[in-house]
Amino acid sequence: MLHPAWWTIDPCARFQLGPRIFPGRIWTASGCFAYGLTGHDMTSDDVASPYSGLGAVVTKTVTPLPRSGNPMPRLVETPHGALNSIGLENVGFEAFLAEVLPELEERGVPTVVSLAATNPGEFGAMAARLQECAGPLGCWHGVELNLSCPNVAEGGHDFGKDPRTVAQCVAAARSHLPDRALLAKLTPNVADIAGLARAAAEAGADAVSAVNTFVGLEVDLATGKPILPRRFGGYSGPALLPLALAKVDEIVSRTGVPVVGAGGIATAEDALKFFALGAVAVQVGTAQMRDPFTAARIARDLGKQG
Protein backbone atom coordinates (compact mmCIF):
# COMPACT_ATOMS: atom_id res chain seq x y z
CA MET A 1 0.00 0.00 0.00
CA LEU A 2 1.08 3.62 -0.47
CA HIS A 3 1.72 5.10 2.95
CA PRO A 4 0.54 8.61 3.81
CA ALA A 5 3.34 11.12 4.34
CA TRP A 6 2.76 11.32 8.09
CA TRP A 7 3.23 7.57 8.65
CA THR A 8 6.84 7.07 9.80
CA ILE A 9 6.43 4.34 12.43
CA ASP A 10 7.54 0.76 11.97
CA PRO A 11 4.65 -1.24 13.51
CA CYS A 12 6.92 -4.26 13.94
CA ALA A 13 9.60 -2.34 15.85
CA ARG A 14 9.93 -2.62 19.61
CA PHE A 15 8.24 0.11 21.66
CA GLN A 16 7.79 0.82 25.33
CA LEU A 17 4.45 0.75 27.08
CA GLY A 18 4.71 1.33 30.79
CA PRO A 19 7.56 -0.78 32.19
CA ARG A 20 7.53 -3.23 29.27
CA ILE A 21 9.08 -3.33 25.81
CA PHE A 22 6.64 -4.82 23.29
CA PRO A 23 7.85 -6.34 20.00
CA GLY A 24 5.31 -4.46 17.89
CA ARG A 25 2.15 -2.39 17.65
CA ILE A 26 -0.21 -4.80 15.86
CA TRP A 27 -2.00 -7.02 18.37
CA THR A 28 -4.87 -9.48 18.30
CA ALA A 29 -7.87 -8.76 20.49
CA SER A 30 -8.98 -10.90 23.39
CA GLY A 31 -11.13 -13.86 22.42
CA CYS A 32 -10.42 -13.49 18.71
CA PHE A 33 -7.31 -15.71 18.51
CA ALA A 34 -8.30 -18.03 21.38
CA TYR A 35 -5.45 -18.35 23.90
CA GLY A 36 -2.86 -17.74 21.19
CA LEU A 37 -1.94 -21.39 20.66
CA THR A 38 -4.13 -22.37 17.73
CA GLY A 39 -2.31 -20.81 14.79
CA HIS A 40 1.04 -22.58 14.72
CA ASP A 41 0.08 -25.21 12.16
CA MET A 42 -1.71 -22.81 9.81
CA THR A 43 -0.21 -21.91 6.44
CA SER A 44 -0.76 -19.20 3.88
CA ASP A 45 0.68 -18.36 0.48
CA ASP A 46 1.46 -14.75 1.36
CA VAL A 47 2.26 -14.68 5.10
CA ALA A 48 4.68 -17.01 6.82
CA SER A 49 2.64 -17.34 10.01
CA PRO A 50 -0.39 -15.83 11.77
CA TYR A 51 2.12 -14.56 14.32
CA SER A 52 4.38 -12.73 11.86
CA GLY A 53 4.95 -9.16 12.97
CA LEU A 54 2.60 -9.32 15.95
CA GLY A 55 3.37 -7.24 19.01
CA ALA A 56 1.03 -9.16 21.29
CA VAL A 57 -1.67 -11.77 21.42
CA VAL A 58 -4.25 -10.80 24.03
CA THR A 59 -5.52 -14.10 25.37
CA LYS A 60 -9.06 -15.26 25.68
CA THR A 61 -10.32 -13.80 28.95
CA VAL A 62 -9.59 -15.91 32.01
CA THR A 63 -11.76 -15.91 35.15
CA PRO A 64 -10.99 -17.16 38.69
CA LEU A 65 -12.99 -20.36 38.12
CA PRO A 66 -13.71 -22.25 34.88
CA ARG A 67 -16.78 -21.10 32.97
CA SER A 68 -18.87 -23.09 30.52
CA GLY A 69 -20.24 -19.94 28.91
CA ASN A 70 -23.71 -18.90 27.81
CA PRO A 71 -26.33 -21.15 26.18
CA MET A 72 -26.24 -21.68 22.43
CA PRO A 73 -26.46 -19.95 20.04
CA ARG A 74 -23.60 -17.68 20.99
CA LEU A 75 -22.73 -16.02 17.70
CA VAL A 76 -24.97 -14.28 15.17
CA GLU A 77 -23.61 -12.98 11.87
CA THR A 78 -25.04 -9.72 10.59
CA PRO A 79 -24.52 -7.96 7.24
CA HIS A 80 -21.87 -5.68 8.74
CA GLY A 81 -20.55 -7.51 11.78
CA ALA A 82 -21.38 -10.09 14.40
CA LEU A 83 -23.13 -10.37 17.73
CA ASN A 84 -21.53 -12.66 20.28
CA SER A 85 -22.66 -13.91 23.64
CA ILE A 86 -19.87 -16.31 24.53
CA GLY A 87 -20.13 -15.68 28.25
CA LEU A 88 -16.41 -15.83 29.00
CA GLU A 89 -16.07 -19.58 28.46
CA ASN A 90 -12.57 -20.49 29.66
CA VAL A 91 -10.51 -23.13 31.44
CA GLY A 92 -10.19 -21.15 34.65
CA PHE A 93 -7.25 -19.25 36.10
CA GLU A 94 -5.30 -22.10 37.69
CA ALA A 95 -5.54 -24.32 34.58
CA PHE A 96 -4.44 -21.35 32.48
CA LEU A 97 -1.39 -20.83 34.68
CA ALA A 98 -0.48 -24.52 34.70
CA GLU A 99 -1.19 -25.46 31.09
CA VAL A 100 -1.66 -22.51 28.75
CA LEU A 101 0.83 -19.85 29.81
CA PRO A 102 3.86 -22.20 29.86
CA GLU A 103 3.07 -23.33 26.31
CA LEU A 104 2.73 -19.74 25.13
CA GLU A 105 6.18 -19.11 26.57
CA GLU A 106 7.61 -22.23 24.97
CA ARG A 107 6.27 -21.20 21.57
CA GLY A 108 7.53 -17.63 21.96
CA VAL A 109 4.12 -15.96 21.66
CA PRO A 110 4.18 -12.35 22.93
CA THR A 111 1.34 -12.43 25.42
CA VAL A 112 -1.01 -10.09 27.23
CA VAL A 113 -3.21 -11.98 29.68
CA SER A 114 -6.85 -10.90 29.76
CA LEU A 115 -8.41 -11.19 33.22
CA ALA A 116 -12.02 -10.81 34.34
CA ALA A 117 -13.41 -10.80 37.86
CA THR A 118 -16.40 -9.50 39.76
CA ASN A 119 -14.68 -7.24 42.29
CA PRO A 120 -11.36 -5.43 42.81
CA GLY A 121 -10.15 -7.98 45.34
CA GLU A 122 -10.36 -10.78 42.80
CA PHE A 123 -8.38 -8.75 40.28
CA GLY A 124 -5.71 -8.13 42.89
CA ALA A 125 -5.51 -11.79 43.87
CA MET A 126 -5.24 -12.94 40.24
CA ALA A 127 -2.55 -10.38 39.47
CA ALA A 128 -0.55 -11.46 42.52
CA ARG A 129 -0.80 -15.13 41.60
CA LEU A 130 0.11 -14.41 38.00
CA GLN A 131 3.21 -12.50 39.05
CA GLU A 132 4.16 -15.29 41.43
CA CYS A 133 3.85 -18.04 38.82
CA ALA A 134 4.85 -16.25 35.64
CA GLY A 135 7.28 -13.57 36.80
CA PRO A 136 10.31 -15.24 35.14
CA LEU A 137 8.56 -15.68 31.77
CA GLY A 138 9.97 -13.47 29.02
CA CYS A 139 7.05 -13.54 26.56
CA TRP A 140 4.42 -12.46 29.08
CA HIS A 141 4.33 -8.70 28.65
CA GLY A 142 1.28 -7.59 30.57
CA VAL A 143 -2.31 -7.83 31.73
CA GLU A 144 -5.50 -6.45 30.24
CA LEU A 145 -8.30 -6.08 32.77
CA ASN A 146 -11.58 -6.91 31.07
CA LEU A 147 -13.85 -4.37 32.72
CA SER A 148 -16.37 -4.25 29.92
CA CYS A 149 -17.66 -7.63 28.78
CA PRO A 150 -21.43 -7.36 28.08
CA ASN A 151 -22.03 -11.12 28.15
CA VAL A 152 -21.99 -12.11 31.80
CA ALA A 153 -24.51 -11.56 34.56
CA GLU A 154 -21.95 -10.52 37.19
CA GLY A 155 -19.49 -7.79 36.36
CA GLY A 156 -19.85 -7.02 32.68
CA HIS A 157 -20.32 -3.65 31.10
CA ASP A 158 -22.26 -2.20 34.04
CA PHE A 159 -19.32 -3.13 36.27
CA GLY A 160 -17.02 -1.02 34.12
CA LYS A 161 -19.24 2.04 33.80
CA ASP A 162 -18.29 3.51 37.19
CA PRO A 163 -14.96 5.39 37.18
CA ARG A 164 -14.50 4.68 40.89
CA THR A 165 -14.84 0.94 40.38
CA VAL A 166 -12.52 1.05 37.37
CA ALA A 167 -9.93 2.82 39.50
CA GLN A 168 -10.29 0.31 42.32
CA CYS A 169 -9.80 -2.65 39.98
CA VAL A 170 -6.75 -1.10 38.34
CA ALA A 171 -5.19 -0.15 41.66
CA ALA A 172 -5.73 -3.65 43.05
CA ALA A 173 -3.87 -5.22 40.13
CA ARG A 174 -1.19 -2.53 39.74
CA SER A 175 0.44 -3.16 43.09
CA HIS A 176 1.25 -6.75 42.07
CA LEU A 177 2.59 -6.04 38.57
CA PRO A 178 5.72 -3.92 38.99
CA ASP A 179 7.39 -4.95 35.74
CA ARG A 180 4.46 -5.71 33.43
CA ALA A 181 2.22 -3.42 31.42
CA LEU A 182 -1.29 -2.98 32.79
CA LEU A 183 -4.19 -2.07 30.51
CA ALA A 184 -7.86 -1.51 31.27
CA LYS A 185 -10.29 -2.55 28.56
CA LEU A 186 -13.10 -0.01 28.49
CA THR A 187 -16.74 -0.27 27.56
CA PRO A 188 -17.98 2.10 24.83
CA ASN A 189 -21.51 1.91 26.24
CA VAL A 190 -21.14 5.09 28.29
CA ALA A 191 -21.58 8.81 27.75
CA ASP A 192 -18.09 9.68 29.03
CA ILE A 193 -15.43 7.13 28.11
CA ALA A 194 -12.72 9.73 28.69
CA GLY A 195 -13.68 9.80 32.36
CA LEU A 196 -13.14 6.03 32.57
CA ALA A 197 -9.75 6.33 30.88
CA ARG A 198 -8.68 9.10 33.22
CA ALA A 199 -9.72 7.07 36.27
CA ALA A 200 -7.81 4.03 35.01
CA ALA A 201 -4.65 6.03 34.34
CA GLU A 202 -4.74 7.82 37.68
CA ALA A 203 -5.01 4.41 39.40
CA GLY A 204 -1.92 3.13 37.61
CA ALA A 205 -2.94 1.79 34.19
CA ASP A 206 -0.26 2.22 31.55
CA ALA A 207 -2.87 2.36 28.78
CA VAL A 208 -6.49 1.64 28.03
CA SER A 209 -7.86 -0.65 25.34
CA ALA A 210 -10.71 1.00 23.46
CA VAL A 211 -13.13 -0.15 22.57
CA ASN A 212 -14.83 -3.36 23.57
CA THR A 213 -18.06 -4.40 21.85
CA PHE A 214 -21.21 -2.30 21.76
CA VAL A 215 -24.39 -3.80 23.19
CA GLY A 216 -26.62 -5.10 20.40
CA LEU A 217 -29.60 -7.34 19.71
CA GLU A 218 -30.87 -9.30 16.69
CA VAL A 219 -34.40 -10.63 16.15
CA ASP A 220 -35.44 -13.93 14.60
CA LEU A 221 -38.44 -12.99 12.44
CA ALA A 222 -39.63 -16.61 12.38
CA THR A 223 -40.28 -16.47 16.13
CA GLY A 224 -40.43 -12.74 16.77
CA LYS A 225 -37.89 -13.17 19.56
CA PRO A 226 -34.24 -12.22 20.07
CA ILE A 227 -31.92 -14.83 18.57
CA LEU A 228 -29.51 -14.88 21.49
CA PRO A 229 -30.84 -16.66 24.61
CA ARG A 230 -29.62 -13.78 26.79
CA ARG A 231 -31.26 -11.32 24.35
CA PHE A 232 -28.28 -8.95 24.15
CA GLY A 233 -24.76 -9.56 22.94
CA GLY A 234 -21.58 -7.72 22.08
CA TYR A 235 -21.63 -6.24 18.58
CA SER A 236 -18.35 -6.09 16.68
CA GLY A 237 -17.06 -5.92 13.12
CA PRO A 238 -16.68 -3.36 10.32
CA ALA A 239 -19.71 -1.31 11.32
CA LEU A 240 -17.97 -0.32 14.54
CA LEU A 241 -15.03 1.43 12.91
CA PRO A 242 -16.38 5.04 12.94
CA LEU A 243 -17.80 4.58 16.44
CA ALA A 244 -14.54 3.20 17.80
CA LEU A 245 -12.55 5.98 16.15
CA ALA A 246 -14.75 8.56 17.83
CA LYS A 247 -14.22 6.99 21.25
CA VAL A 248 -10.46 6.77 20.77
CA ASP A 249 -10.33 10.39 19.68
CA GLU A 250 -12.31 11.40 22.75
CA ILE A 251 -9.86 9.64 25.06
CA VAL A 252 -6.70 10.94 23.36
CA SER A 253 -7.87 14.53 22.91
CA ARG A 254 -9.34 14.91 26.39
CA THR A 255 -6.91 12.91 28.54
CA GLY A 256 -3.73 12.04 26.66
CA VAL A 257 -3.90 8.53 28.12
CA PRO A 258 -2.18 5.98 25.84
CA VAL A 259 -4.77 4.02 23.88
CA VAL A 260 -4.59 0.62 22.22
CA GLY A 261 -7.30 1.05 19.60
CA ALA A 262 -9.79 -1.62 18.60
CA GLY A 263 -13.07 -1.84 16.75
CA GLY A 264 -13.73 -2.76 13.14
CA ILE A 265 -10.11 -3.10 12.04
CA ALA A 266 -9.75 -5.39 9.02
CA THR A 267 -7.12 -3.70 6.84
CA ALA A 268 -3.94 -1.67 7.11
CA GLU A 269 -5.94 1.43 6.16
CA ASP A 270 -8.30 0.82 9.10
CA ALA A 271 -5.37 0.53 11.49
CA LEU A 272 -3.80 3.72 10.14
CA LYS A 273 -6.91 5.68 11.11
CA PHE A 274 -6.39 4.73 14.76
CA PHE A 275 -2.71 5.62 14.59
CA ALA A 276 -3.62 8.96 12.99
CA LEU A 277 -5.70 9.76 16.06
CA GLY A 278 -2.85 8.96 18.43
CA ALA A 279 -3.32 5.28 19.31
CA VAL A 280 -0.04 3.66 20.38
CA ALA A 281 -1.07 0.21 19.13
CA VAL A 282 -4.11 -1.53 17.68
CA GLN A 283 -5.96 -4.80 18.21
CA VAL A 284 -7.54 -6.85 15.42
CA GLY A 285 -10.69 -8.64 16.54
CA THR A 286 -13.60 -9.92 14.46
CA ALA A 287 -11.56 -9.92 11.26
CA GLN A 288 -9.01 -12.15 12.97
CA MET A 289 -11.71 -14.70 13.76
CA ARG A 290 -12.72 -14.80 10.10
CA ASP A 291 -9.12 -15.02 8.86
CA PRO A 292 -6.34 -15.75 11.39
CA PHE A 293 -3.75 -14.15 9.10
CA THR A 294 -5.43 -10.71 9.16
CA ALA A 295 -3.28 -9.12 11.86
CA ALA A 296 -0.09 -10.49 10.31
CA ARG A 297 -1.07 -9.06 6.92
CA ILE A 298 -1.76 -5.66 8.48
CA ALA A 299 1.69 -5.71 10.11
CA ARG A 300 3.24 -6.67 6.77
CA ASP A 301 1.39 -4.00 4.81
CA LEU A 302 2.17 -1.21 7.27
CA GLY A 303 5.78 -2.25 7.31
CA LYS A 304 6.23 -1.83 3.56
CA GLN A 305 7.70 1.36 2.17
CA GLY A 306 5.30 3.36 0.04
HEC secondary structure over the chain: CCCCCCCCCCCCCCEEECCEEECCCEEECCCCCCCCCCCCCCCCCCCCCCCCCCCEEECCCECCCCECCCCCCCEEEECCEEEECCCCCECCHHHHHHHHHHHHHHHCCCEEEEECCCCHHHHHHHHHHHHHHHCCCCCEEEEEEECCCCCCCCCHHHHCCCHHHHHHHHHHHHCCCCCCEEEEECCCCCCCHHHHHHHHHHCCCCEEEECCCEEECCEECCCCEECCCCCCEEEECHHHHHHHHHHHHHHHHHHCCCEEEECCCCCHHHHHHHHHCCCCEEEECHHHHHCCCHHHHHHHHHHCCC
Q: Which residues are catalytic?
A: 149
Domain ranges across the chain? 15-303
- The proportion of the chain whose per-residue pLDDT surpasses 90, expressed as a percent, equals 93
- Does pLDDT of 306 surpass 50? no
**Which pLDDT band, with edges at 50, 70 and 90, does 158 fall under?**
low
* Beta carbons of 288 and 295 less than 8 angstroms apart: yes
Quick: pLDDT tens for 49-64: 999 999 999 999 999 9
pTM for this structure? Answer: 0.96
**Please, which residues have CB within 8 angstroms of residue 158's CB and are 6 or more apart in sequence?**
none
Average pLDDT rounded to a whole number, residues 218-237: 96
**Euclidean distance between CA atoms 87 and 157, whole angstroms:** 12
Q: Give the mean model confidence (pLDDT) for residues 232-248.
A: 97
pLDDT at 206 over 60: yes
β-sheet bridge partners, residue 262: 283
What's residue 148's pLDDT? 80
Which superfamily is assigned to 15-303 in CATH? Aldolase class I (3.20.20.70)
Cα 4 from Cα 77, distance rounded (Å):
33
Alpha carbon distance 201, 132 (integer Å): 24
Q: How many CB atoms lie within 10 A of CB 282?
A: 29
Question: Residue 157: is its pLDDT beyond 80?
Answer: no
Q: What is the pLDDT of residue 154?
A: 53
pLDDT in tens, 74-118: 999 999 999 999 999 999 999 999 999 999 999 999 999 999 999
Tell me the pairing of strands 20-22 and 26-28. unpaired
What average pLDDT is seen over the chain? 94
pLDDT higher than threshold 90 for residue 191: yes
Q: How confident is the model at residue 151 (pLDDT cuts 50, 70, 90)?
A: low
CA distance 238 to 264: 4
What is the pLDDT at residue 132?
Answer: 97
2, pLDDT greater than 80:
no
